[in-house]
């Protein structure tokens, strides 16, 4: 492994890490509350997703230092997620279609 | 070129004076300025014993050769399997020893070996390891130790794969796509140990390949030499690099599907297994979705096609440019085409599944993306032809393979347009037309590139030339033979002969297909045998081949410019090369010779009409 | 981390900086250590693995006509005689986030070359990870005790058990590998290998504090995956 030329790294103040740490606890607590109060339907799903992405974003941005990295690295890491998004979207449709055809052919049509 | 680069030059220029005398007007000492190295010289482990030098070796060049030899060995097994299949199809009376089970097993193993263990390993592991560090001007891969482990994981994966020939029940016979439910149900040959070993072998391959792939990517991104920008890299490196990116993102899907299938087999989970009635009895399985496997498999499988094709695109671009003494036409377009093909390849996978019973609307989406991906691919073909246009073509063996590739690739590409459209695909799917299509486009075409690349780089690896005469025999046998095999198959497909059938029994196809099959099989035996000309050529040329000397093809790229030929561990001796231009400055007007190497500083060629790259 | 000085190269911010970095020679990720770049690309690949797992889970769950068990009830734990939904999972999340925080601080002290502090924080992270794996083992044995198996479960769709054991098992494997490396790195930190640049056991390459950040990236990734598993498996 090569040694990079002496980095003049200024490390970040400890406060920022403690802040993020605290925020993560709060967000986890909120997402736990979603279950505690038994929200249902669209509200539940959107709250779960919002808290999930906020937590994921905080971990990536600050704990993994992505916020301070240069755009070259950040973009290389985030663009491939479009393939995942496409895969997810299509599989949502596919799952619904499979369920539809199962119900249609095995229960409705099978009569 | 970035603006920074120019900024630095102007800053430097203020403190420099014009060199008088040599060079033309405007040549200053800063003309040749290249920014100093960012990263300290690489710390390498030098092997001392036989084992650390040749077996567990950390030198990317040795690892590349190891990959090449092992992949070729596996490929020869695949070739023998294809002979056996053709024997059954053409002359069933001679193949009395083969049962239908054997046939399915051979089909499966032939497919898997050729796609994953031969072509992928050969292009990325073989050519990638050997060429990337040399072409970008690095001393070695960035993590030599991990690179070594990568090869030995591949070795174990091949071992596990071949072991499945010797377990009870034999290797899996479910077709190379391994579709469940039949892959793990009794009645399919090798549904016991065979399929488990196949999954294990694939998981090992993916793990090993990930280690290698990280090396290739970081070497290209972070370990280039001074002056080597991304847009000055040979297209070979671009092709292998993009293919590796695809591999890193596509192999996970294969790993996941192999893992889930082995759980279905071993633990009795039902990820992919729907409720199944067998001989009137309901099996234990139930509730899974077989189509999920197909999606996962092809989410890997389609990028895999480009993992094989992109390095071939890259290598062929370099070969054509060098052997027609002309710069590659539209270099930037070629790079962007590679990148765009790579990105799009993640959005086309379900065109392999038009008849699978997936969501009916998907056909529209995937037919559209599939036809879009044909655009950058066609651009590349035009650029290859325009590179040849009015070039100073040297019609040697390498060039013959290049021409063979272009023709074959166009052929396979056009049938691909047929199969990409849902309505045309539905009657053609699972016929010999499909077999002909993909053997042309990702079997024969990349193989021609491999052959061309072997003739081109053999002098670099061994210091000796291959025999041109034997090479021409080899080429013509292979080229004409391959067309004798695959052209008739298109016809077989049109008359509806289904693929993967052991024999035709009393079907109405018999009359016209039988003679055709005999012809195809005869051609296949000859083409297969012709490959041993290459092996003979390599073995004899190692001893009696003409010594190549330095840079026998008068190429520009860095791999030919090492202080010793063949290059030694560390590649560059004391000083790393400094790059001043792209590798395609051929036949520049005003230059003394018809090539300007990448390391030639601008001040030496100030009189010529060389373009700034 | 923040931008290093590179002789003869001027950093630009934002997208023009991205274009300049990409177009420049030698490196694309300026000032990023080889090992760190490798870990990022590996994590990208690993993201695809976990995405494929979760997508399979989504597809499996969406297409089964059988009732999916309510995770809130399945994973409830009796505390003082009252069933509290997801109690264990909440504690596990808490532990993993705590260990992620200590790891972030370890990286910080590592770069400040504070050997003692760095070592203790890595050790704390390792212990957090170990606690997590222990609680996961407890959770597994509880479910197995209740009759949940990879191939069946008494609460509804059999795929529930399959996906649960596979995905949490794969995540748990990641945590366990991480814990092993954390202990190794804690030892190496205390022994001062990163201060002296002592050569490694296998690769014979020199050690450096950047390795802590590389391990940290892996550890945070494990935490990140847990965020997604928590949302999709336990809450959804």
Q: Which structural domain range is residue C86 located in?
A: 33-235
**C2 and C44 share one domain:** no
DSSP for B565-612 reads SS--TTSSTTS-----S-TT-BS-TT-SSSB--TT--GGGGTTS-PPP
* CA distance linking residue C103 with residue A94, whole number of Å: 40
- Return the domain boundaries, chain A: 1-69, 80-111
Residues A76, A81: Cα–Cα separation, whole Å? 10
Please provide residue B53's backbone torsions phi and psi, each rounded to the nearest 5 degrees.
-90, -35
Looking at residue B508, what is its pLDDT?
64
Q: Which residues contact A84 (CB under 8 A, 6 or more apart)?
A: C47, C48, C51, C55
How do residues B392-421 score in pLDDT, each as one tens digit?
999 999 999 999 999 999 999 999 999 999
Considering chain B, what percentage of its residues have pLDDT values greater than 70?
Answer: 94
Those residues whose C-beta lies under 8 Å from the C-beta of residue A33, and which sit 6 or more positions away, are none
- State which residues of chain B have pLDDT below 50: 1-25
Q: Residue B566: is the preceding peptide bond cis (ω within 30°)? A: yes
Q: How many structural domains does chain C have?
A: 2
Let me know: does B370 contact B351? Beta carbons within 8 Å.
yes
The rounded distance, in Å, linking the Cα atoms of C31 and B214 is 18
Confidence (pLDDT) at B17: 40
Q: Name the token pair of A18.
A: 């403690």
Q: Give the span between the Cα atoms of B173 and B106, in whole angstroms.
A: 7
3-class state of residue C199 by DSSP: strand
Residue C52 has, within 13 A of its CA and on its CB side, a CA count of: 28
- Provide block-wise average pLDDT over 10 residues at a time, chain A (111 residues): 43 84 91 85 90 93 88 92 94 92 78 51
Q: C62 and chain A: CB distance < 8 Å anywhere?
A: yes
Same domain, residue pair C225 and C155 = yes
Examine residue B13 and state whether it is found in any structural domain, yes or no. Answer: no
Is residue B56 less than 8 Å (CB to CB) from chain C? no
Q: What is the pLDDT of residue A10?
A: 57
Are C144 and C213 in the same domain? yes
A-chain residues near C101 (CB < 8 A)? 17-18, 20-21, 24, 63
CA angle in degrees (0–180, nearest 5) for B254-B258-B260: 120
**Average pLDDT in the C8-18 region?**
87
CATH number, domain containing residue B167:
1.20.210.10
Q: Report the alpha-carbon distance of residue B11 to residue B27 in Å, rounded.
A: 16
Q: How far apart are CA C39 and CA C132, in angstroms?
A: 23
How far is it, in rounded angstroms, from Cα A101 to Cα B1? 56
Residue C44 scores a pLDDT above 80: yes
Give C3: exposed, middle or buried? Use CB within 10 Å, 0-12, 13-18, 19+: middle
Token pair 């018999």 in the structure block, residue: B510
Report pLDDT for A4.
Answer: 42
CB atoms A5 and B347 under 8 Å: no
pLDDT attached to residue A107: 76
For range C80-105, the mean pLDDT = 87
User: Of chain C residues 12-41, which have a CB less than 8 A from chain B?
Assistant: 12, 19-32, 34-35, 37-38, 41
Decide: helix, strand or coil at residue B329. Answer: coil
Q: Please enumerate in sequence order all residues whose Cβ is within 8 A of that of B522, keeping only pairs 6 or more positions apart, or say none.
A: B90
Residue B4 in contact with residue C24, Cβ under 8 Å? yes
CA–CA min distance A71, chain B (Å)? 15
User: For A76, which residue in chain B has the nearest alpha carbon?
Assistant: B245
Asked whether residue C49 falls in the same domain as residue C110, the answer is: yes
Q: Which domain holds residue B108?
A: 57-276+293-605
What is the token pair recorded at B324?
């027609």
Contacts of residue B231 in chain C, CB cutoff 8 Å?
Answer: 23
Query: What CATH number does residue C145 fall under?
Result: 1.20.120.80
- Say what the pLDDT of residue C65 is: 82
Please list, in sequence order, all residues whose beta carbon lies within 8 angstroms of the beta carbon of residue B501, skipping any fewer than 6 positions away.
Answer: none
End-to-end CA distance of chain B: 8
Q: Which residue out of A55, A57, A107 would a mutagenesis test of the C interface target, given it has the greatest number of C Cβ atoms within 10 Å? A: A55
CA A71 from chain centre, in angstroms, equals 20
Which residues have a Cβ under 8 Å from the Cβ of B405 and sit 6 or more positions away? B312, B316, B445, B448, B449, B452
CA distance C6 to C26: 12
Distance from CA of C234 to the nearest CA of B (A): 19
Question: Which residues make beta-bridge pairs with C9?
Answer: C6
Which residue, among B130, B45, B54, B56, has the nearest Cα to B567 in the 3D structure?
B130
Per-residue pLDDT of C188-234, as tens digits, reads 899 888 888 777 776 667 778 888 999 999 999 999 999 999 999 88
| Residues C144 and C191 occupy one common structural domain | yes
């Amino acid at each position: 492994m090569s040694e990079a030329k002496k980095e003049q790294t200024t490390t970040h103040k400890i406060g920022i890490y403690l802040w993020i740490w605290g925020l993560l606890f709060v967000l986890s607590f909120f997402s736990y509350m979603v279950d505690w109060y038994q929200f249902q339907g669209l509200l539940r799903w959107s709250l779960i997703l919002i808290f999930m992405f906020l937590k994921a974003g905080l971990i990536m941005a600050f704990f993994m230092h992505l916020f301070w990295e240069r755009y070259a690295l950040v973009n290389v890491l985030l663009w491939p997620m479009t393939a995942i998004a496409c895969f997810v979207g299509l599989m949502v449709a596919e799952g619904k279609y499979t369920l539809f055809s199962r119900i249609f052919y095995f229960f409705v049509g099978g009569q | 070129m970035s603006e920074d680069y120019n900024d630095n030059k102007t800053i430097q220029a203020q403190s420099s004076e014009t060199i008088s005398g040599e060079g033309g007007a405007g040549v200053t000492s800063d003309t040749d300025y290249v920014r100093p190295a960012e990263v300290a010289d690489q710390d390498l482990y030098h092997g001392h014993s036989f084992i650390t030098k040749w077996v567990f070796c950390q030198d990317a060049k040795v690892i590349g050769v190891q990959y090449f030899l092992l992949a070729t060995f596996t490929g020869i097994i695949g070739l023998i399997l294809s002979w056996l299949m053709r024997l059954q199809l053409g002359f069933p009376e001679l193949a009395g020893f083969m049962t239908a089970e054997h046939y399915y097993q051979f089909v499966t193993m032939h497919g898997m070996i050729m796609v994953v263990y031969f072509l992928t390993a050969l292009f990325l592991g073989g050519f990638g390891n050997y060429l990337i560090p040399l072409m970008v001007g690095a001393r070695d891969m960035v993590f030599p130790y991990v690179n070594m482990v990568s090869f030995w994981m591949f070795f174990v994966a091949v071992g596990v794969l071949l072991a499945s020939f010797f377990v009870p029940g034999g290797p899996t016979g479910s077709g190379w796509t391994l579709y469940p439910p039949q892959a793990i149900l009794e009645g399919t040959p090798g549904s016991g140990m065979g399929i488990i070993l196949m999954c294990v072998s694939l998981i090992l391959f993916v793990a090993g390949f990930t280690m290698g792939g990280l090396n290739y990517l970081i070497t290209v991104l972070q370990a280039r030499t001074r002056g080597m920008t991304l847009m000055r890299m040979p297209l070979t490196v671009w092709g292998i690099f993009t293919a590796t990116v695809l591999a890193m993102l596509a192999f996970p899907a294969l790993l996941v599907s192999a893992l889930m299938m082995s759980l279905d087999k071993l633990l009795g989970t039902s990820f992919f297994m729907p409720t199944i009635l067998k001989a009137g009895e309901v099996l234990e399985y139930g509730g899974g979705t077989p189509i999920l496997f197909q999606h996962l498999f092809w989410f890997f499988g389609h990028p895999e096609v480009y993992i094989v094709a992109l390095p071939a695109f890259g290598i062929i671009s370099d070969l054509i440019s060098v052997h027609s003494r002309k710069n590659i036409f539209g270099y930037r377009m070629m790079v962007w085409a590679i990148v765009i093909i790579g990105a799009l390849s993640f959005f086309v996978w379900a065109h392999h599944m038009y008849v699978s019973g997936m969501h009916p609307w998907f056909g529209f989406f995937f037919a559209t993306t599939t036809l879009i991906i044909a655009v950058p691919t066609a651009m590349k073909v035009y650029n290859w032809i325009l590179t040849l246009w009015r070039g100073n073509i040297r019609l040697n063996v390498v060039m013959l393979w290049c021409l063979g590739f272009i023709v074959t690739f166009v052929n396979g590409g056009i049938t691909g347009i047929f199969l990409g459209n849902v309505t045309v695909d539905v009657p053609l799917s699972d016929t010999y037309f499909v077999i002909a299509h993909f053997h042309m486009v990702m079997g024969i075409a990349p193989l021609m590139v491999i052959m061309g690349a072997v003739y081109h780089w053999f002098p670099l690896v061994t210091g000796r030339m291959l025999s041109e005469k034997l090479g021409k025999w080899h080429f013509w046998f292979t080229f004409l033979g391959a067309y004798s095999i695959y052209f008739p198959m298109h016809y077989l497909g049109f008359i509806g002969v289904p693929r993967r059938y052991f024999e035709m029994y009393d079907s109405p196809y018999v009359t016209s297909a039988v003679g055709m099959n005999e012809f195809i099989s005869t051609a296949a035996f000859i083409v297969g045998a012709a490959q041993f000309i290459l092996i003979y050529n390599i073995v004899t040329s190692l001893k009696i081949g003409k010594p190549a000397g330095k840079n026998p093809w008068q190429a520009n790229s860095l791999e030919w410019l090492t202080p010793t030929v063949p290059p030694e561990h560390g590649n560059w001796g004391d000083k790393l090369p400094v790059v001043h231009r792209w590798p395609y400055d051929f036949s520049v007007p005003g230059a003394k010779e018809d090539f300007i190497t990448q390391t030639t500083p601008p001040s030496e060629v100030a009189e010529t009409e060389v373009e700034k790259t | 981390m923040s931008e290093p000085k590179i002789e003869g190269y001027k950093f630009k911010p934002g997208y023009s900086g991205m274009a300049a970095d990409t177009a420049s020679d030698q490196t694309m990720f300026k000032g990023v250590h080889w090992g760190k770049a490798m870990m990022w690309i590996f994590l990208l690949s690993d993201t695809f693995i976990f995405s494929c797992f979760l997508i399979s889970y989504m597809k499996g769950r969406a297409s089964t006509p059988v009732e999916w068990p309510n995770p809130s009830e399945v994973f409830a734990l009796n505390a003082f005689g009252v069933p509290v939904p997801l109690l264990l999972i909440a504690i596990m999340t808490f532990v993993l986030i705590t260990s992620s925080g200590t790891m972030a601080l370890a990286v910080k002290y590592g770069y400040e070359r504070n050997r003692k502090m760095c070592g203790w924080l890595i050790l704390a992270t390792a212990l957090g990870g170990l606690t997590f794996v222990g609680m996961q083992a407890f959770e597994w044995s509880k479910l197995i005790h209740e009759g949940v198996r990879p191939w069946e479960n008494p609460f509804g769709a059999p795929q529930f058990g399959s996906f649960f054991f596979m995905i949490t098992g794969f995540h748990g494997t990641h945590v366990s590998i991480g814990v092993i490396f954390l202990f190794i790195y804690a030892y190496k930190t205390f022994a001062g290998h990163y201060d002296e640049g002592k050569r490694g056991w296998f690769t014979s390459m020199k050690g450096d504090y950047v390795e802590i950040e590389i391990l940290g990236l892996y550890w945070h990734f494990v935490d990140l995956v847990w965020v997604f598993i928590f949302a999709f498996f336990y809450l959804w």
